[in-house]
Chains A and B, each alone.
Chain A
Amino acid sequence: MILPSFELHRPSSLAEAIDLVRGFEARGESYDFLSGGTDLLANYKCKINVKRHVVSLRHLPELLGISRDSIGAGELLWRIAESQEIHESFPALAKAAEWVASPLIRESATIGGNLLQDTRCYHYNQTYWWRVAHESCLKAEADVCRVVPGEKTCVATYCGDLAPVLLCMGASVRLVGPDGSRDVPLSAFYIDEGIQRFVKKPSEILSEVRIPTEARRRKVAYRKLRLRQSIDFPDAGIAFAAELSGSRIVNCWIASTAVGSAALLHPDVAQKAMGRDLGEPLAGELAAALVASARPYRNTFFAPGYRKEMLGVLLRRAMAEVGGFEPAPSQSAAG
């Protein structure tokens, strides 16, 4: 497979990148941003939504830097996984970064790219020939969904590992575009639709992830389901965070990934935990409520029913880690 032709631009500053975007917008030319390339270029090889221009963000100094308050969008996943500061302050985030894909991919992929990772589907992440043979899908060339016949919205799955953890940490993202910059809380960033995906405008660049100081008070855990312990995207993922007073939950957050088109907080489920003791009875109750609300589609490796059920197991294990009340019986699949 070869990359289709596109014009590659390599600006050396954020301002220069935005200038390029202004030009494309003015001329009505299509473009994409490129960071690690592990997501975008794989899709390009399949001739998925290829644009005329590609703007590399690789060398923008404004997108670098790791601290307790902010992580540059261009930071590589392995650097986040190995950062002492992140390890000490937000171990669940370090772990989630360490669990992404494989070592090779983590050496190229970035946190910004992980948050903006394209949604995935058996009917979409295929070669051009495959899609022609299969009459394509809503997210690529066709106007119908192959997962849910008759569906006019896309149900492709968002499979990022970092988003649920950052959602539980109350993080926001900074978006910089031709019209200036804005901060959007991650909780208001994603859209649960496989094509729209998020509120970022095409012309905006996600420049950094901002972490509020209150995140330091939260105990966070992340659990994911996947067949292999490397390479695989999550087939389901749950982050759980709590502010505790003793074993009593003062506040808590639950976020899921890989069971819908977005990483999402589940405030209705988390609400049930306020003021309660963090322990197995509560975990079972929340797990049941979460499972009841989930609706994964048949477009990843494991069957939807299994993924739905595993959400409960993942939540109970994440809560157990935060509460220290029951060691997970096994790390084998739901690690």
Chain B
Amino acid sequence: MTDERKTNSFQIVGKNAALVDAWKKVTGEGLYTDDFRIAGLLTGKIVRSTRAHARIVKVDTSRALAMEGVRAVVTGLDPGAGVKFGVLPISKDETALAVDRVKYVGDCVAAVAADDEETATAAAESIEVEYEDLEPCLDPRKALQPQSVPLQTKSPDGTNLHKAVDQAFGDVEAAFQASAAVSGGRYEFAPVTHAFTEPHCVIAHFEPDGRLVVISAQQVPHYLHRAMAEVMQMPMHRIRIVRPMVGGGFGGKSDPFPHEMVAALLARRAGRPVKINFDREDVFLTNHGRHPTQYDIRIGMASDGAITGLDAKALIDGGAWGSFGVVTTYYNGVLSQGPYKIPNFRYSGRRVYTNKPPSGAMRGHGSVNARFAIESELDRLCEQLGLDPFDVRKKNALAPNSTTVNQFRITSTGLVECLDRTRAASQWDRKFRRMPYGRGIGLGCGFYISGSALPIHFDFHPDPKYGQIPQSTVHVKIDLDAGVTVHSLAADTGQGSDTMLAQCVAEPLGIPLSRVRVRTEDTDLAPIDLGSYSSRVTFMAGNAARNAAIAALEKLQIAAARLTGRPAQSFIARDEKLIDVTDPAVAVSFDAAVREAMRGTGALQATGSYQSPRLGGSFKGANAGLSPSYSFQAFVAEVEVDPETGAVRVTDVWAAHDCGRALNPVVVQGQIEGSVHMGLGQALSEDMRYLKGQVLNANLLDYKVFTSVDTPRIHSIVVESIDPEGPFGAKECGEGALAPVIPAVANAIYDAVGVRLTSVPMTAEKILAGIRKVGRGAKPKLPAGAAR
């Protein structure tokens, strides 16, 4: 097979394709978890803690058990309910139900299953829980002090510290001493959550032979599979996970969750299938959204604009559980190693437990908050040194095929092209510091992993001393109908990964998408893929799918050779034919080749897989942030600030994203637009508010996700750096495009009214207070070096 990364003669890849499940979705025919109808299905309801921190003295379930139509009640004392689990094997601290202590308002205490929702709700409300209140820890700064009762019993020093990360490369202090300017500040981040469309939903069902089937709205069926086996104390082969259509995840469906375990516990006790379908309030209480963070940063710069060093310190509020928090703690530092050369680097991160709903992974996990701080400080430095923000970023851009000080391997990068194209498209040079007071333009750049090279479980670790099981495996089956079935456990959560798999299989086989069907919903059928998180699916599952298709193609080439007497290697697949490149008049139809290949063997099957190369250094924490490739972004936002109200309206965002080869450009555009929209929410409006540890705005009226009316014109600019290892040259496009929009807006607000905001959301109140401080009409001056 020639290296088709360098060619542009694709038939499928790079062409806009409607998502393979689009028709099912738009006609309502597609099945989400809540759409499943199973005979005898019960409704499950969870009893949630009304206390932020308390010992459970007694749970009285007698009234619920006596109610007609109630089929099961479970508490933390049920077998399995107290088994510790968590997405990271190194940080398992969750249980299905609270055993002896509740840790936040909303924590799961007990659950009921009943014939209908009304009965289940009434039964849940009838359960009386007697608490003995403990002092809650709500402020992450206080979490670092010794606690009367630490959140985790294993706390070594009596504090609520979960994870500490300290890394240093080079000598930051010496670098700052030698810098022309050093700028820094404290950045603060309100808690934000994913706000996906479909609330979590799960159905647990024991088949007559005792096998457990769990249907769940999940991004990562495999991790649920593992955790479910531990909690239910059943071997994995006695459990089947089904992942139907999912209405968005954004990281919020990537943990194994207590409610999934609870459904299984209820189903076991009731002897009937149980569904738990969340209300929006449940979704907010389950959270696992972006960590509220306090981020202190200093950056040094030489007079020519070269970054000399970066020093960062993060205090990360984890809420009650660990979730992905160990990764978050690393990512807040290590992902600041791009997209610029940082010769001297120091990072100190602390993640703490507090009595609030757990924080977890959210789109752009670990990179978003740091980016706001870094890109804001870079603009400050540009201003101090009289340099142009674009010039400085271009000067510092990581070079292709280079290595960062923490030994990230950089292969492809399109950052310079991203910068050049947004600069031109946004008419930056005509606008920056030149627009009337109240109007502004700002730049922000980004950098993100294209799949974590380090797997969570050692089974998938590439080192020979561990499991070396590929992180993605794809099976391709071709039978007499000459259709191609693709099996994978990569979870399509609406982002279009099923379509991506179909494209990666169709292209090498020379067939249209209509011949391909993708089956990714069932652990019984699909080979393991680690699922939809860390922006890994296109890169890893895409490579596995392409490899599987190439393996299948080899069988068809041999068949074509048998039919024609020509050498197998001379056949290429195009236009549903195997064509002899040396004599295109010699061709075998795809159907005929399949038929011939099946002679004596039956249906064709082929396997493809992907395993990350071994990367990185050998220091502590060297694995965090390693990725086979990275995406790059440069965004410009234009805003109008109303100086009387402080309200900001983002009019335009020019969003250039380097995703390697865009396998499906319209989907890339969709991901960019979605990321911009989501980032704007964190920038300007979204904020989970708390009242004594209780979420105050656990609904979509009071938690302000931007509407379509508030969304600016988004000019997506797809930059294709063509990655040497990505499938057909592709890399990620689902997450990296979120972070840059926040600093771009902040820098634009500064350009508009001279107000530098260091906390998000950047509300009208804050902007108005800032305008009052700097004075109305205080438009920043054009830097001397920026005149063109």
Contacts and interface: CB of A to CB of B under 8 A. Distances in A.
B252 interface: no
Interface string A295-319: 0000001110010011001000000
A230 B647 contact: no
A5 B765 CA distance: 43
B706 A334 contact: no
Interface in A260-275: none
A332 B648 contact: yes
B438 A1 contact: no
B698 interface: yes
A333 B643 contact: no
A229 interface: yes
A122 B710 contact: no
Nearest to B697: A122
A310 B764 CA distance: 11
B133 interface: no
A118 B601 CA distance: 72
Nearest to B769: A306
Interface residues of B, number: 40
B642 A333 contact: yes
B708 to A, nearest CB: 8
A227 B703 CA distance: 11
Given A310-B645, A329-B643, A332-B648, A229 B704 contact: no
Contacts of A332: 640-642, 645, 647-649
Given A231-B707, A306-B764, A334-B644, A133 B649 contact: no
Interface string B677-701: 0000000010000010010111001
A132 B51 CA distance: 10
Contacts, number: 93
B765 A130 contact: no
Nearest to B280: A1
A133 B647 contact: no
A313 B646 CA distance: 11
Given A329-B438, A333-B642, A228 B765 contact: no
A231 B709 CA distance: 10
A32 interface: no
A117 to B, nearest CB: 14
A228 to B, nearest CB: 5
A306 B765 contact: yes
A128 B642 contact: no
A334 B642 CA distance: 9
B50 interface: yes
Given A229-B709, A333-B764, A334-B645, A130 B698 contact: yes
User: Which one of B641, B698, B702, B708 has the highest number of Cβ atoms from chain A below 10 Å of its Cβ?
Assistant: B702
Contact of A127 (B281, B702, B768): B281
Given A329-B642, A332-B640, A228 B764 contact: no
Nearest to A101: B701
Contact of B694 (A102, A134, A309, A333): A134
B765 A133 contact: no
B20 to A, nearest CB: 30
Contacts of A302: 763-765
A23 to B, nearest CB: 27
B68 to A, nearest CB: 15
A330 interface: yes
Contacts of B642: 329-330, 332-334
Contacts of B701: 231-233
B125 A301 contact: no
A129 interface: yes
A270 B10 CA distance: 72
Interface string B148-174: 000000000000000000000000000
B117 to A, nearest CB: 5
B707 A229 contact: yes
Contacts of A301: 702, 704
B279 interface: yes
Given A127-B281, A330-B438, A229 B50 contact: no
B48 A129 contact: yes
B542 to A, nearest CB: 37
B50 A133 contact: yes
Nearest to A233: B701
A221 B702 CA distance: 27
A231 B448 CA distance: 34
Given A232-B704, A329-B642, A127 B647 contact: no
A2 interface: yes
B710 A230 contact: yes
Interface in B24-71: 48-51
B704 A329 contact: no
Given A2-B118, A303-B765, A122 B645 contact: no
A304 B685 CA distance: 17
A321 B431 CA distance: 31
B710 A229 contact: yes
B694 A227 contact: no
B361 interface: no
Given A306-B764, A330-B640, A130 B647 contact: no
Given A127-B279, A129-B281, A132-B50, A122 B649 contact: no
Contacts of B704: 227-228, 232, 301
Nearest to B692: A134
B737 to A, nearest CB: 22
A288 B49 CA distance: 47
Interface in B419-453: 438
B121 A225 contact: no
Interface in A209-235: 225, 227-233
B765 to A, nearest CB: 5
A104 to B, nearest CB: 11
A330 B647 contact: yes
Interface in A95-117: 102
Nearest to B695: A130
B768 to A, nearest CB: 7
B663 interface: no
Given A231-B701, A302-B765, A333 B645 contact: yes
A128 B698 CA distance: 13
A329 B646 CA distance: 12
B105 interface: yes
Contacts of B117: 2
B551 to A, nearest CB: 50
A132 to B, nearest CB: 6
Contacts of B708: 230
Interface of B: 48-51, 105, 117-118, 121, 125, 279, 281, 438, 640-649, 685, 691, 694, 696-698, 701-702, 704, 706-710, 763-765, 768
Give the 5 A-B residue pairs with the shortest CB-CB distance, closest first.
A333-B647, A133-B50, A330-B642, A332-B649, A332-B647
Given A130-B698, A330-B438, 15 more contacts: A2-B117, A2-B118, A129-B281, A227-B704, A229-B707, A306-B768, A313-B644, A330-B647, A332-B641, A332-B648, A332-B649, A333-B646, A333-B647, A334-B642, A334-B644
29 contacts: A2-B118, A2-B121, A5-B118, A127-B281, A128-B125, A129-B125, A133-B51, A133-B694, A227-B685, A228-B706, A230-B708, A302-B764, A302-B765, A303-B765, A306-B765, A313-B644, A313-B645, A329-B643, A329-B644, A330-B647, A332-B640, A332-B645, A332-B649, A333-B642, A333-B646, A333-B764, A334-B642, A334-B645, A334-B647
